[in-house]
Structure 1
Amino acid sequence: MKKIGLKDIASHVGVSTALVSYVLNGQAEEKQVGKEIAEKIKQAAEELNYRPNQLAKSLKTRKSNTIGLIVADINYRFSSGITRAIEAEAKRKNYTVIFGSSNESSDKFNELVNVLINHQVDGLILVPVEHSEASIASLQKSDLPFVLIDRNFPNMITNCVLLDNYKAAYDSTTHLINQGHKKIAFINYNNRLFNLQERNRGYIAALEDHGIEPHPAWSLFVRQNHYEQDMRKAIHQLTSGSKCDAIFFATDRLAISGLKEIVNLKIKVPEELSVFSFDESEAFELFSCPVSHARQPLEKMGKIAVNMLLDLVNKPGVVNQIYLETELVAAKSCRE
């Protein structure tokens, strides 16, 4: 079978080979190619089953048109959601995404970074893990562009697209206070990731700004590798003795684990206890009532990250840090 080339497509449509090249390389807008002609070229390429020679293209342009993506744990809703968003935007820009999951391991994170570099990706989009500062510092010394998403290290100046975790936690806690709650507990992971530390800070600040003294017994931290075991103890502690009237979970996974124990204890939500989650989960649909949550703008984050990275590919050296806000989704799990 004859291999279809740019000349074949050009002949089929009746345009120049250069015009075909512009369209198929994602330069149609830059080269001011008309939308109708561009669409005809794309349609012809599909009809003729055109397959670009990526190796030849890479040697010529010194670009592989691939992006490396490392997420922290593909089982997180955040990870699967941000991966879909990044793949969609990359495809729109004629880039392919190669991704892996570090499973919250700094060793695996470093290994994946090296694997993707060896695959000659044009740049990296990374969700860093705890203790991965050395890998990030090493990347900063290289020529490979990269963008951090979701998490960063405040002592390192890097290109990143992040949530304003402090504001999100502050606004979420304020929402619970405005609902009439005074005894608000907060459950988070016991680690030093900056994004989670900022959620702690936002929670405490909201209480203090509304004249509520933070109760040490209501700020609980669970171990990442034993979160279900620790969650059982935390829920028992918070629902017996000096009871809280609302629980704010710092992640959706923690919220799911907490809700399981709340159901086991036959605690009525929201009649006896209000529940709020940072981020949403499909599993919430299985609960007896819709769960109030702070929704992360995954599509927006993915789109910005891809475009920021491609800007760096073309113009290295620029440092840009973008902070996004969550959307507060009020539901029936919080008492009104």
Structure 2
Amino acid sequence: MGKRVSLKDIAAKVGVSTALVSYVINGLEKEKRVGPEIVKKIREVARELNYKPNQIARSLRKGSTNTIGLIVADIANPFFGQLARIIEDEAARHHYTVIIGSSDENCVKSAALIEALLDRQVDGFIIVPSEGCNASIETLVQREVPVVLVDRFLPDVNANYIVLDNFKATYEAVTHFVAKGCERIAFVAYQSSLVHMQERIRGYRQAMKDHQLEEAIQVKELLYNHAKDFMDNGVSELLTGNQKPDALLFATNALSISGLYAIKNHNIKVPEDMAVIGFDGNEVFDFFYSPLTYIEQPIDQMGKESVRILMEQIKGNHQTVQIELQHRLIQRQSCG
């Protein structure tokens, strides 16, 4: 193995001091007023010599690892996969690397991931909180570890967050159904105490009441890990019962996809027999014979803003930032 290229080697070839090379390599050229020609030359020589900085030593000097921990519910879910990619790309713009883990909506696994990432000395966290994880998030806040909650927040924890106005999203979806003549509107959601899911249910219920459809309220709440079983075995109760709905609203991307399969298996025509609105877009919807109307979350803004807030926290700005974003209802053919 050849000798590792050092700052001294670059300095010798360029004909400048090691300190000057260090300023450029560490991005301090403007602060130290290094001339642009020298900066260009140092970087050219560094590339030519295939210089690789010693990240461990660099981290010890800076007190920073330039890594952030990202914990999502399920990286296989298209929504969280897309969110993770946006966060990863945005973090790279700030010269940060992202370490990603999935909690699988399990608070024990989420807490273990947080501890593992703390052991890796990440500079901060972006977390999609799972049910029951209040204590582990509160610990991060109390220890002044930079953290931003995304997609969901915890009412009992005064943490930074960026989320959707979920109440307004489902309220508008119900209003859209009503405008299309629907009266028996059912809502399929997860059984969860998390605020984002409760707000989606609350928005649905309030809209039904405001449109004088309170007696027609039907909410099917199912366990996160049993969603597929419900769609395969229990959906007939909802779709063929005495109060068969003329419209279905789904609370998540995954439920929307499972629901479309169930509708197809029951030979229900969309939108002739039943109108449908999903939550979040998905390429799968483009292959459904009746392109799906859906609630669009501003996922790009959500991801980029979460990184921006975290970077400010890492820099020492400890002012709590809490942002609520607005949705768009993308109208296609599934509501007629």
TM-score (norm 2): 0.89
1:3 Cα deviation after fit: 3.1
Question: In the alignment, is the contact (CA less than 8 A) between 1:276 and 1:333 conserved in 2?
Answer: yes
Question: In the alignment, is the contact (CA less than 8 A) between 1:69 and 1:100 conserved in 2?
Answer: yes
Query: Could you say if the C-alpha distance between residues 4 and 254 of structure 1 is closer, same or farther in structure 2, counting changes exceeding 3 Å?
Result: same
Query: What is the aligned partner in structure 1 of residue 203 from structure 2?
Result: 202
Query: What is the aligned partner in structure 1 of residue 255 from structure 2?
Result: 254
1:63 alignment partner, SS class: coil
Mapped pair 1:271 → 2:272: yes
Question: In the alignment, is the contact (CA less than 8 A) between 1:26 and 1:94 conserved in 2?
Answer: no
1:72 Cα deviation after fit: 1.1
Query: What is the aligned partner in structure 1 of residue 173 from structure 2?
Result: 172
Residue by residue over 1:289-319, the C-alpha shift from the partner in whole angstroms, topping out at 9 and shown as x without a partner, is 2111112222221111111111111115321
Question: In the alignment, is the contact (CA less than 8 A) between 1:169 and 1:199 conserved in 2?
Answer: yes
Aligned pairs (5 A) from 1:45-124:
45-124=46-125
Percent identity (aligned): 46
Query: What is the aligned partner in structure 2 of residue 219 from structure 1?
Result: 219
Question: In the alignment, is the contact (CA less than 8 A) between 1:235 and 1:262 conserved in 2?
Answer: no
Question: In the alignment, is the contact (CA less than 8 A) between 1:220 and 1:234 conserved in 2?
Answer: no
Aligned partners of 1:165 and 1:131: how far apart in 2? 20
More deviation, 103-112/233-242: 233-242
Query: Could you say if the C-alpha distance between residues 33 and 260 of structure 1 is closer, same or farther in structure 2, counting changes exceeding 3 Å?
Result: farther
More deviation, 255-264/7-16: 7-16
1:228 Cα deviation after fit: 2.1
1:272 alignment partner, SS class: coil
Structure 2, unmatched stretches of 5+, are none
More deviation, 218-227/233-242: 233-242
Aligned pairs (5 A) from 1:156-171:
156-171=157-172
1:239 Cα deviation after fit: 3.9
Aligned partners of 1:229 and 1:182: how far apart in 2? 28
Aligned partners of 1:158 and 1:95: how far apart in 2? 22
Query: Could you say if the C-alpha distance between residues 44 and 176 of structure 1 is closer, same or farther in structure 2, counting changes exceeding 3 Å?
Result: farther
Query: Could you say if the C-alpha distance between residues 91 and 155 of structure 1 is closer, same or farther in structure 2, counting changes exceeding 3 Å?
Result: same
Query: Could you say if the C-alpha distance between residues 16 and 176 of structure 1 is closer, same or farther in structure 2, counting changes exceeding 3 Å?
Result: farther
Question: In the alignment, is the contact (CA less than 8 A) between 2:184 and 2:243 conserved in 1?
Answer: no
Question: In the alignment, is the contact (CA less than 8 A) between 2:79 and 2:253 conserved in 1?
Answer: no
Amino acid across the alignment from 1:307: R
Aligned partners of 1:178 and 1:116: how far apart in 2? 49
Aligned partners of 1:139 and 1:56: how far apart in 2? 26
Aligned pairs (5 A) from 1:233-312:
233-312=234-313
Query: What is the aligned partner in structure 2 of residue 313 from structure 1?
Result: 314
Structure 1, unmatched stretches of 5+, are none
Aligned pairs (5 A) from 1:144-163:
144-163=145-164
